[in-house]
Amino acid sequence: MNKPLLSARGLRKRFGAVVAADDICIDIPAGQRLSVIGSNGAGKTTFVNMVTGYLKPDAGQILLNEHDITHLSHQSIAGMGICRSFQIPMLCLELTALENLLVAVAASENRQSLWQPADSPAARERAQALLEKFQLQAYASRPVMQLAGGVRKLLDIAMALARRPKLLLLDEPTSGVSADEKFPTMERVMGAMQDEAVTILFVEHDMEIVANFSERVIAFYSGRVIADSSPAEVMANQDVRNYVTGGAQ
């Protein structure tokens, strides 16, 4: 049996009296497309923050390709192959879309000196390729402050992909995106990943997006995993219907 790309074992995290993670155990194989669902405060973002190093667990272990990353910084973890996008895109509003990507490409090269220019022929080629992957060429020279929320989301994900991660975690990739743009946005994201050797985990509230774009769903409630299976099986789970989807089919 192949070893998982990522393995979380017995993760626990408390914030005072609030239990945000209660003995979380999850294995993620390479190449999988999975989603994480749960109501607000269920522990989804806490799990993502622990995996990416923005939050340290009180107990438990996180392994990436059998290497312990539990107590590493988020910068070190990103360098080892786990990157993320954010619910609120982390972009420089004054720079253009292309310039934001050039910065991300430069960061992915682990440059040792701030005096090295971000804009080199190789970096520009990579940045342009990412714009094309996400169908963002038309926005290359526009400042981010002028871009709509959905475009900013795609740009933030493109910047995370600049590091060529092994595991990419997307936090609410369709939040702030208009209802009629949610499916096209996710289609662009998944299409951009097709020729990338990357495993994708995305946190999502829209159950139609979850059902259509993931092969596995993990449901959280009160810091625990209450279901972990195919989208159809998880949506039919009674605990998921009671605590996550509110009885929605």
pTM of structure: 0.88
SS3 19: strand
SS3 199: strand
Domain range spanning residue 188?
6-243
Residue range 81-100, pLDDT digits in tens: 999 988 777 898 999 999 99
Give burial (CB, 10 Å; 0-12/13-18/19+) of 84. Answer: buried
Of 144-148, 171-175, 200-204, 219-223, which range is least confident?
171-175
Domain assignment present for 174: yes
Domain assignment present for 190: yes
Domain assignment present for 87: yes
Residue range 2-60, pLDDT digits in tens: 789 999 999 999 999 999 999 999 999 999 999 999 998 899 999 999 999 999 999 99
Domain assignment present for 213: yes
| Number of structural domains in the chain | 1
Helices (H) and strands (E) in the chain, counts: 9, 10
Residue 110 binned pLDDT confidence (cut-offs 50, 70, 90): low
Domain assignment present for 1: no
Residue 115 binned pLDDT confidence (cut-offs 50, 70, 90): very low
How is residue 240 written in tokens?
A: 């998921």
- Whole-angstrom CA distances from 37 to 91, 171, 238 are 25, 11, 14
How is residue 212 written in tokens?
A: 């259509």
Question: Which CATH number do you get for residue 165?
Answer: 3.40.50.300
